[in-house]
Amino acid sequence: MLSRLMSGSVRNLEREFSCTVRLLDDTEYTCTIQRDAKGQYLFDLICHHLNLLEKDYFGIRYVDPDKQRHWLEFTKSISKQMKSQPPFTMCLRVKFYPPDPAALKEEITRYLVFLQLKRDLYHGRLLCKTSDAATLAAYILQAEIGDYDPGKHPEGYSSKFQFFPKHSEKLERRIAEIHKTELMGQTPETSELNFLQKAQMLETYGVDPHPCKDVSGNPAFLAFTPFGFVVLQGNKRVHFLKWNEVTKLKFEGKTFHIYANQKEDKKIILTYFAPTPEACKHLWKCGVENQAFYKLEKSSQVRTVSSSNLFFKGSRFRYSGRVAKEVMEQSAKIKREPPAIHRAGLVPSRSCPSITHGPRLSSVPRTRRRAVHISIMEGLESLRDSAHSTPVRSVSHGDSFIPRSRSQAAEAGDSSAVIADETYSPSDSVLPTPVAEHSLELAVSRQINGAPCSIEEEKESEAGTPMGVEPGELGADSRAAGSLQAAALSEAEQVNKFVLSVLRLLLVTIGLLFVLLLLLIVLTESDLDVAFLRDIRQTPEFEQFHYEYFCPLRRWFACKLRWVGGLLINK
C-alpha cells in the first residue's frame, strides 16, 4: 500500500513542475503547473495575481541554454518550448508597447508600463537627449520619494539613485533641481503619468533592440515600435518604416530581409545579419507579431506567415492574440473599481535598482569610465557624428519618425535623425533575461560604480585584450584584415546557402517523383474499385499508356530481376 502511494506521488511529481516568473517590480511569482499546460494558462495565472485586465500588451520572456531570448507562445505547451529542465525561470515584460500609454484605461496597466520604461531607461534602451533624461529621472524621483524635504534629502541626494547606465554630476544636479522646483505636490500617479507622456515622445520609445550588422559589417540595432520598424546606428536613427509600408519580413539562416513600399511607389529592401540563426528567427517572429498587432484592424485578418517564398523551405508562424484596435475597444468596456496598487517605493531592485545603499562609489574616475565605455562600443561610436545610412537597393530612406501625438510637428526630411547625445548602446540588448543570481550581483555592483553592464566587455576580457590599449592603437591593418575575413565568411555562407537550397530542391523533386510512382502502381496493379481510380483507368490515354509503355517496362524490369537472381544463385 505504501509503495503504491509513493509511486503515485512520484508520477504526480513527474506530471508537474515548478515555474518562477519575475515580475516588473522584481518580485517573483512561483507556481506549480501541469507538464502539458500551455503558455496561456501560466499567463492567466500571473494576470490574475496582478489583477490585470489590459493584459494583451504583456508577454512572458525566457532564455534558452544558448542564451537566446524567446517570447513564450501561449498556444503551445510550456514544457515543449523550454529546452532546459525544470524548474523554469521566466520574466513578465511589456511585449507590445501601447501607442499612447497615458490613454490606458486602468492605472495598474499604466504603472506596469511605467516600470517597464523605467527599466528601459536604466538599461540604455530608452535613450534621449540630456534635457529629456533629467526630466524623466526627476519624475521617477518624485514618484518614489515624493516632494523634496531638506531634512530627509541632503545635498547630492540624487547621486544615490541609478537611473541610467552612467551618470554625470551635471546631470545629477539638473535632476535634483527639477525635482525641487518643478514637481512639488505631484502624487505618484501624476508623476508616472507625466513620465509616460514624456517617454512616448522619444524616438526610442517601445524599442526592444536586436543587435545586428548591415551589409557593410557596421553594428546596428533593429527594433519594432508601435509606429513601425526602426534601425539605430551610432546616436542616429538611420531608417524608419511605417507599418503600412512594410510588405514582407523574411529570414534565411542569419540573414534578415525587410521589404517595403514607400511613397511614389518606391520599393526598398533592407538586409541585415543577426549573430546566430536562432537570433534571426527570433527577430523575424517579433517582427511578424508586431506587424500583425499594430497594422491589422481585426484578429480575423491574421494569416500564417512563411519565412520563404517556397512552400517546402523556411519556417511558418502565426500570431495568436488580439490586435491593438481590438484591445483598445475591449479596454473601453472595463467597468470596475480600480484595483489597489502596491508600489515598490524605496525597495531596491535587483536587476533595475533605483536607489542604492550609500553614495555612488567614485573609485574609478569618470574620465576612465567614459574611456572604457567608448572602447567597448568602438564600432557604434565610430558612427556617432557621421550621416551613415545602411545601403539599400533604393535611394529612398523612409519617413521621419513622428508619432500621432506629434503630427503637428514639422516634417523631417532627414531620416538619420539624432536620437540622443550618446551612442545608442543598450547594455541589456544582448544580455539574457533573467540573469543568474551571481551575475545579477556583479551587474548591480558595476552599475553602482558607474560602469555599464555590457556583454561586449565580457567578450573582450575573454579574448585577452590587453588593458590600457586604445582601439586606435590596433591600427587600420587589423580592421582591414577583419573586413576581408568577414567578406570571405560572407561569401562562404552564400555558397553554403546555395548548395543547401539546391539539395532541398533535389530532395523535394525526388519525393514528388516517388509519390507519383506509388500512385501509378496503385492505378495499374491494384484492384481498388474506387470511383476516381475507375474513371482514370477507363480513359483511352491511360489504356494506351498501360499497354504501350507500362507493360513493356514491367516485363523489362522482371527480366532484369530474374537475371540478377540467377547470377546470385549460381554464385
Assess if residue 161 is contained within a domain. Answer: yes
Domain boundary pick from 186, 201, 216: 201
> Residue 36: which CATH number?
3.10.20.90
Is the domain of 214 the same as that of 324?
yes
DSSP assignments along 347-391, one per residue = PPPSSS-SB-SSSPP-SS-HHHHHHHHHHHTHHHHTTTTS-----
Residues 26 and 110 in one domain: no
Q: How many whole angstroms separate alpha carbon 157 and alpha carbon 356?
A: 11
CA-CA distance, 109 to 104, in Å (whole number)?
Answer: 7
In the chain, the N- to C-terminal Cα span, in Å, equals 66
Same-domain pairing of 147 and 225: no
Domain co-membership, 212 together with 247 = yes
Average pLDDT over residues 339-353: 58
Q: Residue 228: which of 212, 210, 207 has the closest Cα? A: 207
Q: Report the C-alpha gap between 451 and 453 in whole angstroms.
A: 6
What's residue 34's pLDDT? 92
Q: Mark which of 332, 364, 380 sits at the end of a domain.
A: 332
Tell me the H-state helices in 146-183: 169-181
Which set of grid coordinates corresponds to residue 190?
A: 501624476
Pairing of strands 88-94, 16-22: parallel
The C-alpha cell that represents 286 in the structure block = 517579433
pLDDT tens for 201-259 read 999 999 999 999 999 999 999 999 999 999 999 888 999 999 999 999 999 989 999 99
Distance CA 348, CA 328 (A): 33
Q: Scan for cell 496503385, then name that residue.
A: 522
Quote the number of domains for the chain. Answer: 4
- Dig out the grid coordinates for 152 from the structure: 530627509
Residue ranges making up the domain that contains 548: 504-569
pLDDT tens per residue, range 83-139: 888 889 999 999 999 999 999 999 999 999 999 999 999 999 998 889 899 999 999
Q: Are 319 and 268 part of one and the same domain?
A: yes
Predicted confidence at residue 6, as pLDDT, reads: 53
pLDDT at 294 over 80: yes
Question: What is the per-residue pLDDT across 484-505, written as a single tens digit (0 to 9) for each?
Answer: 454 555 567 677 778 888 888 8
According to the per-residue pLDDT averaged within each range, which of 307-311, 480-484, 557-561 is highest?
557-561
Instruction: Determine how β-strand 236-242 pairs with β-strand 417-418.
Output: antiparallel
Share of the chain above pLDDT 70, in %: 71
Residue listed under C-alpha cell 543587435: 211
Q: Answer whether residue 317 is part of any domain.
A: yes
Q: SS3 for 18?
A: strand
Same domain, 240 and 222: yes
11 within domain boundaries: no
CA angle 119, 121, 127 (to 5 degrees): 150
Q: Clarify whether residues 194 and 297 are in a common domain.
A: no
Determine the Cα–Cα distance for residues 47 and 111; give it in Å rounded to an integer.
Answer: 14
- Where residue 558 falls (left for φ over 0; alpha for ψ -120 to 50; beta otherwise) is alpha
Judge if 71 and 107 occupy the same domain.
no
**Highest mean pLDDT range out of 311-325, 400-414, 448-462?**
311-325
Rounded Cα distance between 550 and 544, Å, is 9
In this structure, is residue 443 part of a structural domain?
no
pLDDT digits (tens, 9 = 90+) for 7-64: 554 455 568 899 999 999 999 999 999 989 999 999 999 999 999 999 999 999 999 9
pTM for the model: 0.67
Whether 483 is covered by a domain: the verdict is no
Per-residue pLDDT of 142-161, as tens digits, reads 999 999 998 899 888 988 88
Q: Is the dihedral of CA 326, 329, 331, 333 positive or negative?
A: negative
User: With 60 as the cut, is the pLDDT of residue 193 above it?
Assistant: yes
Do 132 and 53 belong to one domain? no
Residue 159 lies inside a defined structural domain of this protein: yes
Q: What is the CATH classification number for the domain harbouring 194?
A: 1.20.80.10
pLDDT at 487: 52
pLDDT at residue 408 is higher than 60: no
In this structure, the dihedral spanned by the alpha carbons of residues 90, 291, 424 and 68, taken in order and rounded to 10 degrees, is 30
The CATH number linked to 278 is: 2.30.29.30
Residue 379 belongs to some domain of the structure: no
Same domain for 105 and 90? Answer: no
**Final residue of a domain: which of 332, 357, 387?**
332
The pLDDT assigned to 432 comes to: 40
Asked if 65 and 84 touch (Cβ cutoff 8 Å), the reply is yes
Among 80, 134, 119, 88, smallest CA distance to 427 is for 119
- Cα dihedral sign, 150-154-156-158: negative
pLDDT band per the 50, 70, 90 thresholds, residue 539: confident
Confidence of residue 187 (pLDDT cuts 50, 70, 90): very high
Collapsing DSSP to helix, strand or coil, 157 comes out as helix
- pLDDT for 545 beyond 70: yes
Specify the higher pLDDT residue, 332 or 488: 332
Q: Are 179 and 291 in a shared domain? A: no
How many Å apart are CA 455 and CA 475, to the nearest integer?
24
237 in the same domain as 191: no
Q: Is residue 287 part of a domain?
A: yes
